[in-house]
A = this chain, B = another copy of it.
Amino acid sequence: MTGIVSQSDKHTSGEDSLIARYFKPLATDPGAFGLDDDAAALRAAGEDIVVTTDAIVEGVHFLPDDPPDTLARKALRVNLSDIAAKGAVPAGFVLTLAVRKADESWLKPFARALGEDAADFGCPLLGGDTVSTPGPLMISITAFGRLPQGKMVHRAGAQAGDRMFVTGTIGDAALGLDVLQGGPVAAALADDASGRDFLAARYRVPQPRNALAHAVRAHASAAMDVSDGLAGDLAKLCAASGVTAVINVPSVPLSSAAAGLVARKAIGIETLVAGGDDYELLCAVPGDRADAFLREARQAKVTVTAIGGLIAGSSPPSFLDGQGRELKLQQLSYSHF
């Protein structure tokens, strides 16, 4: 800790030039002005700008030994996932990085991976602030998306009769975290390195479903991304919309790694439905839009699965097993296995 210093003294000039060297190449948007100005300018020709912000802290949201490249991707992708859920197209992001020191061996792979994702998702770096901290590493990203005026898809808006869809597969990330922490899932997969790697990667590098954004905007009555577990986030969407849901748990899409663990009774399906960090999209779609939604999802090459439907009521969502029996809600709250 160097005491209270003015902004220019936060880093040595060598550190400043290191930071500039690695991040300037990411500022590909003309409105970023090469990171040489005090602000960026985001052009918005009659569109709304969707704004979302997510921060991750070392030791709280990620593991101290998580590789810098996967951290970069996750920090950006959790924001991209929100933009997709709202039906918007990525427009750019600003980065706040709090680091103990400017360490080239960390910054280089971090910036490279961030730049690759920024390019792949069409979401350039617009600006940021790098500050010193004596504490844990923290990465905060505020990301922007564009959509036609008034067209943001909300958590509220779903109606009784709508069908519930989810993208990808559910619960892998929670299993991946357990694998990385050497927990019971790691033990159950002791002989399955590729299964462990798959699940760890699902935790470390989510796959935001930005390709589905147009279908969400065109057809969904409500949507959000699943970051805190399918069960919890579905409850939030239902509460915001003033409806409740009936979910057919055997319909919840599972990866073969997760399905294998369930089949072997190494884990219960409740663990998957409650586990966090999926970053899949949860979409309520009116019945007469479902076919068009599915068709557009196929064209976008995003797997979506119907998992149940919405009904009138204000009770918590119901989760039914293969025999139509309701699973107890307390089993669905997040647990560390």
Q: A8-B228, A61-B131, A276-B7 are in contact. Are A44 and B47 (CB under 8 A)?
A: yes
Beta-carbon contact of A57 and B132 below 8 Å: yes
Beta-carbon contact of A38 and B2 below 8 Å: no
Residue of B nearest to A59 (CB): B1
User: Is A140 an interface residue when CB atoms closer than 8 A count as contact?
Assistant: yes
Cβ proximity bits A35-64 to B, threshold 8 Å, 1 near / 0 not: 011111111111111111111110111110
Beta-carbon contact of B42 and A48 below 8 Å: yes
Residue of B nearest to A51 (CB): B40
Q: A96-B96, A228-B8 are in contact. Are A83 and B39 (CB under 8 A)?
A: yes
Cβ proximity bits A149-174 to B, threshold 8 Å, 1 near / 0 not: 10010111000000000000000001
Which candidate, A110-118, A122-130, A284-292, A324-332, is the interface stretch facing chain B?
A122-130
Question: In whole Å, how far is A75's beta carbon from the nearest beta carbon of chain B?
Answer: 12
**Which of B6, B46, B134, B152 is A229 in contact with, Cβ under 8 Å?**
B6
Residue of B nearest to A203 (CB): B4
Cβ proximity bits A214-232 to B, threshold 8 Å, 1 near / 0 not: 0000000000110111001
Which residues on the B side are within 8 Å of A52 (C-beta)? 38-40, 127
Beta-carbon contact of A127 and B37 below 8 Å: no
Interface majority SS (helix, strand, loop, mixed), chain A: mixed
**Which of B49, B53, B136 is A41 in contact with, Cβ under 8 Å?**
B49
Which residues on the B side are within 8 Å of A199 (C-beta)? none
Which residues on the B side are within 8 Å of A36 (C-beta)? 155-156, 240
Which residues on the B side are within 8 Å of A127 (C-beta)? 51-53
Which residues on the B side are within 8 Å of A144 (C-beta)? 51
Q: A8-B229, A44-B44 are in contact. Are A96 and B53 (CB under 8 A)?
A: yes
**Which of B8, B46, B228 is A7 in contact with, Cβ under 8 Å?**
B228
Beta-carbon contact of A152 and B83 below 8 Å: no
Which residues on the B side are within 8 Å of A45 (C-beta)? 46
Instruction: Name the residue in A39, A61, A277 with the highest tally of chain B Cβ atoms < 10 Å from its Cβ.
Output: A39
Residue of B nearest to A334 (CB): B6
Cβ proximity bits A193-235 to B, threshold 8 Å, 1 near / 0 not: 0000000000000000000000000000000110111001000
User: Is A256 an interface residue when CB atoms closer than 8 A count as contact?
Assistant: no
Instruction: Name the residue in A61, A135, A152, A224 with the highest tally of chain B Cβ atoms < 10 Å from its Cβ.
Output: A135
- A residues with a Cβ closer than 8 A to B are 1-10, 31, 33, 36-57, 59-63, 82-83, 85-86, 88, 94, 96, 98, 126-129, 131-136, 138, 140, 142, 144-145, 149, 152, 154-156, 174, 177, 181, 224-225, 227-229, 232, 240, 275-277, 334, 336
